[in-house]
Amino acid sequence: MVTGGGAGIGRAVAMLCAARGDAIAVLDIDGKAAGDAAAAAMATGARAALGVECDVSCEASVALAFEAAAARLGTISGAFANAGIDAGGFLHELSYETWKRVLDTNLTGVYLTCKYALQQMLDSGTAGSIVCTSSPAASVAFAAGAAGAYSASKGGISALVRCMAVDYAKYGIRVNAVVPGATETRLMWANVEPSAMPEMRRRICEEVPLGRLASPEEPARAVVWLLSEESSYVTGSHLVCDGGILAKASISV
């Protein structure tokens, strides 16, 4: 089960899981993108694939999506709670509606995805794996600023991952987070004017120790490892895949 699977890191995870023969449910608020990703997963080698339009901020939508996936694919053993948005703004200027939309999608969306994944796993006695998308913004403030809502949502996800890991370890259910850095996705440029993108990309590449943005497949490989039995003794962790951002002091001298 992959939320936000119609594009970016979510789609890359779906394709990597498909290549190893998994059955894939792709959830996305864009139903066409979800369907296209499911079709691509089948072409890549998925045992079965289903695309579902789903708004992760709405419990009824998430419940129906999980019900449809279970009916078509069976009980899930792995979930990637990944859907998210970024709407910037300094806090004194940020509307309540924008704050709520970011928290509802990013944090409540992860809660709902995990809630229904856990219910299925517990009901079936499945020892599964859940991975949530956090961010360096959960640990440090972005130098450009105006990311209070996004940072708060990702900090909440990181705290929730630790709690779920402890709560569900006794059932054999592992819960971890991936922490992607600057990645070439639509979300990366959500608050950047197209005309400013070349200069922004240049500046990011100067600041990231590895000197470039990640492709979506790079953090996706970290997610697939956390979903697999190769990480069978890993829970409550944050797998950082950020090109060295969090390892670097903020002063560039």
Amino acid at 39: A
- Does the annotation count 233 as an active-site position? no
Measured N-to-C along each axis, helices 109-124 and 59-73 cross at an angle, to the nearest 10 degrees, of 40
Residue-wise DSSP of 27-74: EESSHHHHHHHHHHHHHHT-SEEEEEE--TT-HHHHHHHHHHHHHHH-
Say if CB 6 and CB 18 are below 8 A apart: no
Say which DSSP state 213 is in: P
Active site residue: 111, 116, 150, 168, which one? 150
Amino acid at 175: V
CA 21/CA 115 separation, integer angstroms: 26
Q: Which sequence positions are flagged as catalytic? A: 150
